[in-house]
Amino acid sequence: MKVPLLLPIVAFLFGFLSLFTPVQAQVNNDLFQSSVPVLLDSGKTVQRMEILTYLRNTEYYHPIEQGQTWLGAQVRSEWNFGITPTTHAELGVWWSNSFGSTERSFRPLVAIVYKPLQWEWRMGTLQGGTQHRLIEPLYEISRMAENPLEYGLQARRLGTYSFVDVWLEWQKAIQVGSPYKEVFQAGWVMEQSIRKSNLSLYAQGLWTHHGGQVDTAPDSVYQGNRLNGALGWKYSGKIEAQMAWVGYADPLSAYTSIQKGNGWMVHANGKWERSKKGTLRYGVTFWQGHRFLAPGGGQIYQSYNATLTHYEPKRSFFIPRITWDAQRYSLRFEPLIDPTFHTIDPVFSYYYRFQMIK
């Protein structure tokens, strides 16, 4: 859809409205946050059952990312066993069904969790996905439907005025003679309020490694290290806002000829709360990137598509957002407005999550 004049009008409208409405600085993903107790007395047991249904449809007509539809359901059932007052075990199963496909996925849920004071140390199934609080250029939301589980090591601290998350996700292990490379990703997220005020600073980092010494993968298979980082601030008041600088580095240019890149993201959300019924949110995201890449990050933010072999060194676009968030579901309309191609690409999402804990 051609939009020669709509882009500045939409940008002005959302900016003007945010002057008169409380604003939330990030896309709201509270629906996906885990609420399982992390402290259990010895011998105590907590059972959790979760059902998530999802529909995400992107009508992208763009060489960086083509449109796709995700429609399906996931079921998560697990038991938490108290071992000591500060340690508990998690054991369960996760099942996923992508509608229209004959493939079914079953994966184990297993972890040992140690929680002294405000820290939580975890080995096994991680508190991953949106719970890392990565910004969109570093985390693709559709990964919740494709590959939501993460396994490895994790340390988290959830304070009143601070948040820390450090993890190592083991994505692919190798043995002697494996015909492929090992893959793991390490990440960290830190957020701190300044003197308990409405202003907070945050930093995020990712290290993605492909390598190994005992495999038999040919030399033509990619191996190397790629780095991503983000530095940003958020302010919460009558007018709230967020801005972040995001970087990319492939020191040896092993993945592509792109050795480094960066981008700027500006995002704001206004909201209108309707008591217990839900919250209407409206906002806009602006992105401007240069030679930016991010393994596992939002593809639309990146400058290169390996599948379509399309390279676009400079990327800039707007995403107006209108969402309705309730206790158990989230309805989202987030079209992509690309001034380079003069197009509007609709994006629609619906998530329903039911959780039972006893």
Segment 192-219 shows an average pLDDT of 91
pLDDT tens digits for 37-51? 555 677 788 899 999
156 located within any domain = yes
The region of weakest confidence among 206-210, 252-256, 316-320, 328-332 is 252-256
For residue 306, being part of any structural domain is answered with yes
pLDDT at 11: 45
**Contact status, residue 349 vs residue 321, Cβ threshold 8 Å:** no
Tokens, residue 312? 């676009």
* 235 compared with 335, residue with greater pLDDT: 335
Give the pLDDT band of residue 176 (cuts 50, 70, 90): very high
Confidence (pLDDT) at 16: 47
DSSP assignment string, 213-240: SS----TTS--EEEEEEEEEEEE-SSS-
Quote the pLDDT of residue 321. 93
**What average pLDDT does range 178-196 have in this prediction?**
93
Q: 222: which 2 tokens?
A: 């990619």
Has residue 29 got a pLDDT over 60? yes
Q: Indicate if the pLDDT at residue 347 is higher than 90.
A: yes
| pLDDT above 80 (res 114) | yes
CB 74 within 8 A of CB 51: yes
3-state class (DSSP) for residue 177: coil
| Mean pLDDT score across all residues of the chain | 87
pLDDT higher than threshold 80 for residue 20: no
- Lowest pLDDT segment from 22-31, 65-74, 87-96: 22-31
Is it the case that residue 117 has pLDDT exceeding 90? no
pLDDT at 307 over 90: no
Which residues have a Cβ under 8 Å from the Cβ of 271 and sit 6 or more positions away? 21, 22, 23, 24, 279, 280, 281, 282
Number of structural domains the chain divides into: 1
Domain-embedded: residue 81: no
Structure confidence at residue 9 as a pLDDT band (50, 70, 90): very low
Confidence of residue 14 (pLDDT cuts 50, 70, 90): very low
Provide the pLDDT confidence category of residue 254 given band limits of 50, 70 and 90.
confident
Q: Which residues of 298-325 are buried (b: 16+ CB within 10 A; e: fewer)?
A: bbbbbbbbeeeeeebeebebbbbbebbb
In a domain, 15, yes or no: yes
In a domain, 151, yes or no: yes
105, 93 contact by CB (below 8 A): no
Residue bearing the bigger pLDDT, 83 or 146: 83
pLDDT at 160: 85
Which residues constitute the domain of residue 172? 6-34+57-72+120-349
Cα distances from 34 to residues 97, 130, 263, in angstroms, run 21, 10, 31
What number of other Cβ atoms are within 10 A of residue 220's Cβ? 5
> In the predicted model, what is the mean pLDDT of residues 182-186?
96
Spatial CA neighbour of 60 closest among 286, 321, 313, 300:
300
Percent of the chain scoring above 70 in pLDDT: 90
- Please check the confidence at residue 22 and state whether its pLDDT lies above 60: no
Identify the CA nearest to 347 among candidates 11, 145, 60, 1: 60
Range with the poorest average pLDDT among 90-99, 122-131, 158-167, 274-283? 274-283
User: Taking residues 170-194, what's their average pLDDT?
Assistant: 94
Q: What is the pLDDT of residues 209-248, one digit of tens each?
A: 999 888 888 877 888 999 999 999 988 766 668 999 999 9
State the Cα–Cα distance between residues 60 and 126, nearest whole angstrom. 31
- Domain of 308, CATH number, reads 2.40.160
Distance CA 9, CA 353 (A): 35
First to last CA, the chain: 50
85: in domain: no
Largest Cα–Cα separation, the chain: 65
Identify whether 79 is part of a domain: no
Please state the pTM of the whole predicted model: 0.89
In a domain, 51, yes or no: no
The pLDDT value given to residue 73: 95
